[in-house]
Structure 1
Amino acid sequence: MILVKEFEFDAAHNLVNYHGKCEKLHGHTYKLVIKLEGEPDHEGMVYDFVELKKLVNEKIINTFDHSYLNNIIPQPTAENIAIYTWNKLKEHIDRNNCRLYEVQVWETKTSGIVYRGE
C-alpha cells in the first residue's frame, strides 16, 4: 500500500556553474510529494497524515519556504532537493510497518524528479 502526501513551498535559487537561464536568480512554487510504503498498523493506518504533515513541515517546508535555497543546498537542483529531503525524513519515517518509498520534487507542472533512495 502506498500513502501519498503533497506539499508546496515557494523558494528562490540559481544554479552554479550552469550556462543557461537557470544560472540567474529565479524562483518556483515547488510541489513536494512524499510517498510511504507499508501496511496498516493496529490503528488501521500506514502512517498518520497529521503526523506526516507535522514532520515534513518541521524538517523541510519550514526550512525551504520563502528561502534562498543556495544557502541550504550548495547546488539546489530538483535532484539535490529530493536527496536532501530523503535524507532528512528517512530516519523519522521508517518503522516496522512502513518506510519512505519515494520523494518527488516538481519545479513546474511539467518538470520534476522522482527519487527512491537509489
Structure 2
Amino acid sequence: MKTGIYKEVQIDTSHRLLHYHGKCANLHGHRWKIEVWMEGEPAPDTQIVIDYSLIKKVVEKYDHQIILNEEDPMVPRIAEFHPVITTPGDPTSELIAVLIRDDIHNTCHEMGITAKVTKIRVWESPTSCAEIT
C-alpha cells in the first residue's frame, strides 16, 4: 500500500538573480519554507516511508548558505570568505525546488529507500512560492 507523507522545513539563505533586472539582482536573504510531499511503501519492520529527519537533513544543507549562479562573478570573491553553493542558472525558487527534489531522490537512492518526492513547494516569502510535481 502506497503511503504519502509531508514534511516542512524552514531555512535562511541569501541569493541573487544574475540575469534578473530588478531588486532581486542584489544579494539578499529569505526565510524559505520548503514543503515536501513524498510517497512510497512503508518498510515492513518500521512502517515508515522515510524518516522525516532525513528530509530535514537534506534540506538543511542549504540553511545559512549563500546560493549563487555558477556564472556569477561574485562567486570567487565571496568564496574567499564563506562557502558558496552554486547552481546551474539563477537560484530562483523554481530551481531550488528542483535541486532539493534531486538531492532527496539521490539520498534515497544511496540509502536504498524507494520513496519519491511527489510534490515540493519552495516559499521565498509568505505570499510567493514555486511548486513542482
TM-score range (shorter-chain normalised) is 0.7 to 0.9
- 2:129, 2:67 → 1: CA distance? 17
Structure 1 residues 51 and 86, CA gap change in structure 2 (3 angstroms)? closer
Q: 2:16, 2:54 → 1: CA distance? A: 32
Distance 1:39 1:11, change over 3 A: same
Q: Which residue does the alignment assign to 2:99?
A: 84
Distance 2:125 2:108 in 1: 27
TM-score (norm 2): 0.72
8 Å CA contact retained: 1:93, 1:100? no
Where does residue 40 of structure 2 map in the other structure? 38
Aligned equivalents of 1:105, 1:6: Cα separation in 2? 10
Runs of 5+ consecutive residues of structure 2 not aligned to the other structure: 69-83
Tell me, yes or no, if the aligned pair for 1:86 and 1:103 is still in contact at 8 Å.
yes
3-state secondary structure, aligned to 1:107: strand
Q: Report if the CA contact (8 A) 1:40-1:97 is conserved.
A: no
- The count of aligned residue pairs is 111
Structure 1 pair 108–93 and aligned structure 2 pair: CA distance change class (3 A): same
The farther-off stretch of 42-51 and 83-92 is 42-51
TM-score, normalising length from structure 1? 0.80
Residue 36 of structure 1 and its aligned partner are, at CA, apart by 0.7
Distance 2:16 2:121 in 1: 20
Please give the residue correspondences for 1:70-81 in structure 2 after superposition, counting only pairs within 5 Å. Answer: 70=68, 71=84, 72-73=86-87, 74-81=89-96
Q: In 2, Cα distance between the equivalents of 1:7 and 1:34?
A: 8
CA distance 1:53–1:31, change in 2 (3 Å): same
> Residues 21 and 80 from structure 1, CA distance in 2 versus in 1: closer, same or farther, beyond 3 angstroms?
same
- Letter matched to residue 56 of structure 2: K
Q: Which residue of 2 aligns with 1:65?
A: 63
